[in-house]
Structure formats: C-alpha cells, structure tokens
Amino acid sequence: MRKPIPESDPIAEEFIKQSAARSLDGSVDGRSKSCLRQLAAGIGFTSERPITDVGIPAFYEALSHLGFDLASQHIAAYSGDDFVDQMVMRARTSGRIAHLYNRVSDSDADDPFAQ
C-alpha cells in the first residue's frame, strides 16, 4: 500500500517564498533564477498556478539551492503536450514539507538533463 502524501506546511511554503526572494541576487541564473522568481511571487504552490518554463533540472537546482530535497513526486494533471508535476519537497534542516507544482512539456520530460 502506498504511503499517504504528507500535508504541505504553510511555514515551509513561506520559507521558500522568502528564501527565493533573497536568493535572486545570488549565484543562481538562467532557468533556476526564473524558478526562484516565480516562487518569490507565490507561483508554484497550487496545481492551478504552477511554475512554468523552467524544466525539471532547473526546478531541482533552485530547490536544492533553498535547502530542499525531493521526498516524492507524481503527475497532478495533464494538458495537451504538458503535464503538471506535484513535487513534495522536504527541508533538509527542519524536515518540513512543501508541495510545489511545475508545468513540464513532454519535450522537457524526454531529456531531464536538457536545459
């Protein structure tokens, strides 16, 4: 039997927003910076308003930069040639959970290391 997905913690979500905003002046660039910019604006915390146009590797790089690792993942929705990934991310220091949503095109999914 599959383990239930833990609830998203509002404290972890707020930490991500604030940390993303502070990280915009840092060493992250390209699609990862776009991901941080969207998170700082409150985008990516619901499946109706997912992060867009960053791809899979940049998403992971941005969240790793913020101190989060993937706990679990599943596809939350399909839309034409795109799908929305629900990523359950766990903070390395506190263990708090945040659910994030990333819209991915099928072409990005074919090569997860393409940027």
According to the model, what pLDDT value does residue 11 have? 92
∠ CA 3-8-13, rounded to 5° = 150
* Closest to 97 (Cα-Cα) out of 13, 4, 3: 13
Whether residue 74 lies inside any domain: the answer is yes
In angstroms, rounded to a whole number, what is the distance separating the alpha carbons of residues 88 and 98? Answer: 6
- List of the chain residues with pLDDT < 50: 110-115
Q: How many domains does the chain have?
A: 1
Q: Which domain covers residue 81, as residue numbers? A: 10-109
According to the model, what pLDDT value does residue 110 have? 47
User: What's the pTM?
Assistant: 0.85
CATH no. for residue 40?
3.10.450
Whether residue 25 lies inside any domain: the answer is yes
According to the model, what pLDDT value does residue 74 have? 87
In angstroms, rounded to a whole number, what is the distance separating the alpha carbons of residues 29 and 83? Answer: 24
